[in-house]
Amino acid sequence: MLTLKTINDNPEAVILKLAKKHFDAKELVYKVLDEDKRRKETQSELDGLLSEVNSKSKSIGALMKEGKKEEAETERNFVQELKVRIQSLEANLKEAERELQELLVLLPNIPSDEVPEGRVAEDNVIEKTGGIVPQLEEGAVPHWDLAKKYDLIDFELGVKISGAGFPVYKGKGARLQRALINFFLDKAREAGYLEVQPPYVVNAASGYGTGQLPDKEGQMYHATADDLYLIPTAEVPVTNIYRDTILEEKDLPIKNTAYSACFRREAGSYGKDVRGLNRLHQFDKVEIVRIDTPEHSYESLKEMVAYVESLVTELELPWRILRLCGGDMSFTSALTFDFEVFSAAQQRWLEVSSVSNFESYQANRLKCRYRTTDKKTQLVHTLNGSALALPRIVAALLENNQKSDGIHIPKALVPYTGFDIID
């Protein structure tokens, strides 16, 4: 969430910048300012009374030593009245802090100056393209037909077991999944990321820390009996490793990678764009997460974008990088780059990764700080990216590499699959 200092220093600038996300923040910002003023006034009055009680307590002791028992008793009664007032103020302060937090979490992150104006996906800026769009042979079909032809993925069986959006991978389809996961993890480790294996369920505090709660609770699977949430991405548990911590500047940047299954309700999704692997409720993904200093975080973002570019290049897929406009960004992001690969059989671009800098927005929720060399503490910047999400990568690999003799596996993956063709 935004810091109170950011809002107090220049509320009009906050309102103006959030307008780039098409978020009308005026009323909410001034509610925050009013609530913060009430909190400060309550705190000031409370501090004054606590100081007075401390002073009176000392004077009572002095009066008793002097034998002035009646005066001491009068002071003691006055202190009791102050303590009753203090209890009331402490309750008021707690309530003011709670209401302030409830207001602050409703404000999205401020977009970076690099974020382009725009309202919808069509307004995103194409930063870079690469790869060659394949010319498919006559009779080429989309991946859901290929999955059935070669017995790679059974969508109907997934419906029987769980419901729509939970496919069953079989044979070489399952091996391709495992190959991609290992390929992505190995590449991340070679790039200096520490591999971790996080839980697939998190508590509400973790969801709050990374901004999924209260913004995206409708998209998360919630185990209500235990008040736990199935993770929508490994970003959530991995970033929460650093919740309520103070890191040392010399240890930054921290670079982690994790494979996980991801679970998303995707409520309201329908139509041709969600067929097959295009949109699932459960899917596999390898995530990269960085914790860095504010001064270096945008250099880290560039490095992460370049790293994801190297992955899609090695997989020999046609790709493009989009810089998201204000209206198409997430609630928590300051700057996001999306990666898309081209699906030749579907004749459309498929999103396979988002790489984002959240600046201090998540860190403020997480209470994650670092100690500078001069022993001061300040909020870190957090970043993450998909490296990569498997479903649409698999869709594009199957479709773009189909030939009359079968589906050819990109050279970089063959050591992981153990086969070079699906036939």
What would the pLDDT profile of 9-27 be if each residue is shown by its tens digit? 999 999 999 999 999 999 9
Which residues does residue 153 pair with via DSSP β-bridges, in sequence order? 169
What would the pLDDT profile of 371-421 be if each residue is shown by its tens digit? 998 999 999 999 999 999 999 999 999 999 999 999 999 999 999 999 999
The answer to whether the CB of 350 falls within 8 A of the CB of 340 is yes
- Do the annotations mark residue 175 as ligand-binding? no
What would the pLDDT profile of 62-78 be if each residue is shown by its tens digit? 777 777 777 777 877 88
What is the pLDDT, as a whole number, of residue 37? 96
Distance CA 242, CA 254 (A): 10
What Rg, from alpha-carbon coordinates, does the chain have? 27
pLDDT at 270 over 70: no
What would the pLDDT profile of 170-218 be if each residue is shown by its tens digit? 999 999 999 999 999 999 999 999 999 999 999 999 999 999 998 777 8
3-state secondary structure of 303: helix
Report residue 260 CA to chain centroid gap: 15
Among 129, 127, 101, residue whose Cα is nearest residue 114: 127
Percent of the chain with pLDDT over 70: 98
- Other C-beta atoms lying within 10 Å of the C-beta of residue 271: 8
What is the pLDDT, as a whole number, of residue 269? 54
Beta strands in 151-193 (DSSP E): 153-154, 168-169
- Do the annotations mark residue 353 as ligand-binding? yes
DSSP state at residue 152: -
Distance CA 149, CA 407 (A): 11
What is the pLDDT, as a whole number, of residue 271? 56
**In 34-62, which positions are buried (b, 16+ CB within 10 angstroms) versus exposed (e)?**
ebbebbeebeeebeebeeebeeeeeebee
Q: Retrieve residue 416's tokens.
A: 């992981």
Distance CA 110, CA 210 (A): 15
- Do the annotations mark residue 352 as ligand-binding? yes
What is the pLDDT, as a whole number, of residue 268? 52
- Do the annotations mark residue 332 as ligand-binding? no
Q: How far is CA 271 from CA 264, 279, 401, in A?
A: 17, 10, 25
- Do the annotations mark residue 354 as ligand-binding? yes
Q: At what angle do helices 171-190 and 297-314 cross, to 10 degrees?
A: 140
pLDDT at 31 over 80: yes
- Do the annotations mark residue 248 as ligand-binding? no
Domain ranges of the chain: 4-104, 121-422
Work out the average pLDDT over 80-105: 94
pLDDT at 272 over 80: no
- Do the annotations mark residue 309 as ligand-binding? no
Half-sphere exposure (CA, 13 Å, Cβ side) for 346? 24
pTM: 0.93
Half-sphere exposure (CA, 13 Å, Cβ side) for 50? 10
Distance CA 306, CA 27 (A): 40
Sign of the CA dihedral 168, 174, 176, 177? Answer: positive
Which residues does residue 84 pair with via DSSP β-bridges, in sequence order? none
- pLDDT level of residue 267 (50, 70, 90 thresholds): low
Instruction: Decide if domain 121-422 falls under CATH 3.30.300.30.
Output: no
**Helix, strand, coil percentages in the chain from 3-state DSSP, rounded to 5:** 45, 20, 30
Distance CA 103, CA 64 (A): 49
Half-sphere exposure (CA, 13 Å, Cβ side) for 112? 20
Among 241, 220, 217, 216, residue whose Cα is nearest residue 230: 220
- Do the annotations mark residue 266 as ligand-binding? yes
What would the pLDDT profile of 334-366 be if each residue is shown by its tens digit? 999 999 999 999 999 999 999 999 999 999 999
Q: What is the mean pLDDT of the chain?
A: 95
- Do the annotations mark residue 384 as ligand-binding? yes
- Domain 4-104 adopts which CATH fold? Helix Hairpins (1.10.287)
